[in-house]
Amino acid sequence: MSDSYDLVIIGAGFAGLVCARVAAERGLRVVVIEKKSEAGIQLHTTGIIIKEAADELHIPTQFTRKVRGVRLYAPGMKQIDLESPGYYFLATDTRGVLRWQAEEAARAGAELIFGQAFEGARREGDEIVLDKPAIRARYLVGADGARSSVARCFGLGTNSRMLVGVEAEFEGIEGIDPERLHCFLDSNLSPGYIGWAVPGVGVTQIGLAGRLGEKPSTDALIDKLRGVFGFENARIVERRSGPIPVGGAVRPFAAERVLLVGDAAGLVSPLTAGGIHPAFRYGRRAAQVISDYLLDDGPDPGQVLAREYPRYRWKALLRRGLDRDPPNWLYDWTLALPPTRLRPARVFPPQGFEDQGRLARFAAVEIRKSGIVNGYRLYWQTDNPRILDDDAEQAFKKSPQGGFDRHRANACQGPPGVSNRARLSRCDLSRREASTTQEDRHGQAGEYI
**Where do the domains of the chain lie?**
3-67+91-160+247-306, 162-245, 337-442
Encode pLDDT of 81-137 as tens digits: 999 999 999 999 999 999 999 999 999 999 999 999 999 999 999 999 998 888 999
pLDDT at 408: 35
Closest CA to 94 of 180, 198, 212, 8: 198
Q: Would the pLDDT of 181 be above 80?
A: yes
CATH code reported for the domain at 162-245: 3.30.9.10
Helices 420-429 + 390-397 axis angle, to 10 = 80
Query: How much of the chain, in percent, has pLDDT values that exceed 90?
Result: 62
- For residue 448, what pLDDT is reported? 25
Measure the CA–CA gap between 291 and 36, rounded to whole angstroms: 27
Q: Which residues pair with 21 in a beta bridge?
A: none
User: Which of 394 and 270 is assigned the larger pLDDT?
Assistant: 270
- Mean pLDDT is lowest, of 198-202, 209-213, 265-269, for 209-213
From the list 163, 314, 320, the residue with the least C-alpha distance to 245 is: 163
pLDDT of residue 419: 40
Question: What is the pLDDT, as a whole number, of residue 317?
Answer: 86
Given a cut of 60, is residue 368 above it in pLDDT? no
| pLDDT for 230 | 95
Angle in degrees, CA 299, 302, 308, rounded to 5: 95
Determine the pLDDT at residue 424. Answer: 34
pLDDT in tens, 304-338: 999 999 989 888 888 888 888 889 999 999 888 86
Angle between helices 276-296 and 14-25 (to 10 degrees): 30
pLDDT value for 280 = 96
Is residue 277 helix, strand or coil? Answer: helix
Query: Which is the CATH superfamily of the domain at 3-67+91-160+247-306?
Result: FAD/NAD(P)-binding domain (3.50.50.60)
Q: Are 254 and 266 in contact (CB under 8 A)?
A: no
What distance in Å separates the CA atoms of residue 140 and residue 256, rounded to the nearest whole number?
Answer: 9
CA distance 257 to 125: 11
Segment holding 173, helix H or strand E: none
CA distances from 267 to 180, 260, 342 (A): 26, 10, 27
The model's pTM: 0.75
| Tens of pLDDT, residues 406-430 | 333 333 434 444 343 333 333 333 3
Higher pLDDT, 371 or 419: 419
Q: Is 207 helix (H, G, I), strand (E, B) or coil?
A: strand
* Residues 180/52, Cβ–Cβ less than 8 Å: no
Mean pLDDT of the chain: 78
For 149-158, give one letter per residue: b (16+ CB within 10 A) or e. bbbebbebbb
